[in-house]
Amino acid sequence: AETLREAAEAQGKFIGSAIADHRLSDATYNGIASTEFNSVTAENVMKWESIQPSRGSFNFAAGDRLVDFAQANDQQVWGHTLVWHSQLPDWVENGGFDAAELTEITDEHITTVMDHYEGDIAYWDVVNEAFNEDGTFRQSVFQQTIGEEYIANAFRTADAADPNAKLCINDYNIEGANAKSNGMYDLVQGLLADGVPIDCVGFQSHLILDSIPGDIQSNLQRFADLGLEVIVTELDIRITMPADSAELDRQADQFEGVVSACLAVDGCAGVTVWGFGDADSWVPDVFEGQGAACLYDESYQPKPAYDGVLAGLGGT
């Protein structure tokens, strides 16, 4: 049978996974990561707290390991993430900076990180999770201190740092048409009208079994119709535990549905899953009593969900 990446390549799309740096030394994990995917995203090690934990000291070692892994396996690297309210070090969040200082700090972070990885990273999540559920802007330290122009500024700075990387804004709960995705739509439309260099929108897609929005394809399409690439960036489908076999079968169908929605949209470049194994998933740590959200079980055996993704990619 073909692999996920072979099926995706045949469609001209990519299939990616978030990669946990501390798991790459495990042979089973490393084997799946290298053979099944043609795109990789750092699950944690390219976030601000990892890369610039104190002002002016940059740690690129773990991110470099992922780039080396990807290059050895002929994979694209997705950069995650430059400007985000979470996993943001205390020196930034509670530094008491004024707008000019925080803008300078943000520009310096974006420029240093993107310069370091220039040529190695195909897409960057420049701004992550800027919205509240009602479509208003999240009151992050960036929004509170600088105002919404922190977003346009981040994209302009990113474009200057690496003009060849594709620059994305990324969020969750925007997969279907709703108040939050409408807020995102209005923002990106305005950015484009203002000539801000934005290339893509990432739809995280942390989804719940039996609650998948029915309009993912049309929602992706309306963003693609603006001339932007769209990408499913962090797909998983969580189940209330324990998961029975009927639920795992429905999960497979629902994974297939999301992947098919991307394939049906010309501007959808690919799908990334947020970790491939249930053993490594963030879900049980955050949502008590939920899990089994990935393509492989706790022992790295493929689940029905794996076949669902393969089928969604037109593979067998």
Minimum CB distance to ligand G3I, residue 201 (Å): 14
Q: CB of 81: closest distance to ligand G3I in angstroms?
A: 7
**Contact between residue 83 and residue 126 where contact means Cβ atoms under 8 Å apart:** yes
The answer to the question of residue 157 lying near ligand G3I (CB under 6 A) is no
Least Å distance, CB 314 to ligand G3I, is: 28
Site residues (CB under 6 A) for ligand G3I, limited to 223-262: 234
Nearest to 232 by CA among 270, 283, 183, 264: 270
Position 204 contacts ligand G3I (CB under 6 A): yes
- Told to check if 276 binds ligand G3I by CB under 6 A, we report no
Min dist. Cβ of residue 204 to ligand G3I (A):
5
- Residue 197's contacts (CB-CB under 8 Å, 6 or more residues apart) are 155, 156, 158, 159, 167
* C-beta closer to ligand G3I: residue 50 or 153: 50
Cβ of residue 120: shortest distance to ligand G3I, in angstroms? 19
Q: How far apart are CA 38 and CA 115, in angstroms?
A: 23
Q: What does the block give as tokens for 200? A: 């893509």
x-or-dash pattern for ligand G3I, window 20-49, by CB under 6 A? -----------------------xx-----
Q: Assess 175 for contact with ligand G3I (CB under 6 A).
A: no
Q: Which residues pair with 229 in a beta bridge?
A: 200
Choice from 35, 54, 71, 87 touching ligand G3I (CB under 6 A):
87
CB of 128 to ligand G3I, least distance (A): 6
86 binds ligand G3I (CB under 6 A): yes
Instruction: Name which of 82 and 313 has its Cβ closer to ligand G3I.
Output: 82
Please identify, using beta-carbon distances, which residue of 234 and 307 lies nearer to ligand G3I: 234
Residue from 37, 123, 276, 282 touching ligand G3I (CB under 6 A): that is: 282
d(CA 248, CA 244) in angstroms, rounded, equals 6
Q: Among this protein's residues, is 247 annotated catalytic? A: no
- C-beta of residue 175 within 8 angstroms of C-beta of residue 207: yes
- Residue 3 or 44: which CB sits closer to ligand G3I? 44
Residue closest to ligand G3I, measured at CB: 282
Q: How far apart are alpha carbons 246 and 266 in whole angstroms?
A: 32
Q: Measured from the CB atom, is 43 or 159 closer to ligand G3I?
A: 43
- Given the residues 36, 49, 234, 247, select the one marked as catalytic: 234
Q: How many residues bind ligand G3I (CB under 6 A)?
A: 7
User: Would you please indicate which residues are annotated as catalytic (active-site) residues?
Assistant: 234
Positions in the binding site for ligand G3I (CB under 6 A): 43-44, 86-87, 204, 234, 282
